[in-house]
Amino acid sequence: MSYKIRNTIALAVIILVVSIIGIYVTMFYQPKKITQYEKETKEIVAKLQDNTEQMMEIELNQSKLRETLHRWNNRVKEISSSDVSSQTYGYLSDIIDESGAQQLKMNLSLTGTKDEGSVGYNSYKITGTSEFPNIFRFIWLLENGRKLYKIKNLVLQSSEVGADSLEHPQISLQYDMDIHAYYTREATLGMPVMKPDSTPQPIMSNPFQPSVFQRTPANVRNLVDVDKVSLKATANGKALVMNEDGKLVTLQVGDEVYLGKVTNIIPRDGVVEFVLNDGGIVKTKRLQIQFEKTDKDAVQ
pLDDT, position 285: 93
d(CA 279, CA 217): 7
What is the tens place of the pLDDT at every residue in 5-22?
777 777 777 887 777 777
pLDDT for position 65: 83
Q: How far apart are CA 146 and CA 95, in angstroms?
A: 11
Helices (H), 101-159: 132-144
Angle at 245 between CA 239 and CA 251, to 5 degrees: 15
- As a whole number of angstroms, the distance between CA 276 and CA 253 comes to 14
pLDDT, residue 298, reads: 41
pLDDT of residue 225: 92
Q: What spatial distance separates the first Cα and last Cα of the chain, rounded to whole Å?
A: 185
**Residue ranges covered by each domain of the chain:** 11-73, 85-190, 226-292
**Gap between the Cα atoms of 185 and 75, Å rounded:** 18
Backbone angles phi, psi at 245, to 5 degrees: -85, 5
pLDDT at residue 176, rounded to an integer:
93
Strand partners, 154: 177
Does the domain at 85-190 match CATH 3.30.70.60? Answer given as: yes
* Cβ atoms of 57 and 64 closer than 8 Å: no
State the DSSP code for 80: B
27-53 tens-digit pLDDT: 777 778 788 888 888 887 777 666 677
Determine if the pTM surpasses 0.85.
no
pLDDT of residue 76: 66
What local confidence, expressed as pLDDT, does residue 49 receive?
67
pLDDT for position 81: 81
Low-confidence ranges of the chain (pLDDT < 70): 1-2, 48-51, 70-76, 99-103, 163-164, 190, 192-201, 292-300
What integer pLDDT is reported at residue 249 of this predicted model? 92
